[in-house]
Amino acid sequence: MEIKERRENNILNRVEIAFSWKHDSKSTPSRKEVMDLVQTLEPGANRDLIVIKNCETRFGQPLTTGTAYIYASQEAMAVEPDYIHKRHESLRSTAASEAPAQAEEAAESEGGDE
């Protein structure tokens, strides 16, 4: 992933990142994958405060571009519309619920034949 532009917006208390991601011989990255990569590229970023505003892949090209916002607080994040919050709830809850789900699957697979 390449960061095309990084801008600090002090009025809205966020960092705005325009990115470009070449994914040769791979499928289009999911919003979760983009969020993970933004979190690793921006030091100190909290996963709960990252918003992937848009993410576009051109037809026939292995190139995805988009915009990500990293907010400083939950109060600053209140400027985002409700549909953005709902869209990102699933991305945040999957990270929290993956561990119990994997443990549950492991317990089921360890059982023997009856």
In the chain, where do the E strands start and end? 2-9, 14-22, 50-57, 63-71
CATH (domain of 88): 3.30.70.330
Per-residue tokens: 13: 């208390």
Q: Per-residue pLDDT tens for 58-79? A: 888 889 999 999 998 888 888 9
pTM of the model: 0.71
Per the structure, the count of domains in the chain is 1
CB atoms within 10 A of CB 49: 19
Q: What is the pLDDT along the chain (114 residues), one digit of tens a residue?
A: 788 999 999 999 999 999 998 988 888 888 888 888 888 888 888 888 888 888 898 888 889 999 999 998 888 888 988 888 888 887 775 554 554 544 455 445 555 555
**Given this model, what pLDDT does residue 15 score?**
92
Let me know if residue 30 belongs to a domain: yes
Q: Which domain holds residue 12?
A: 2-107
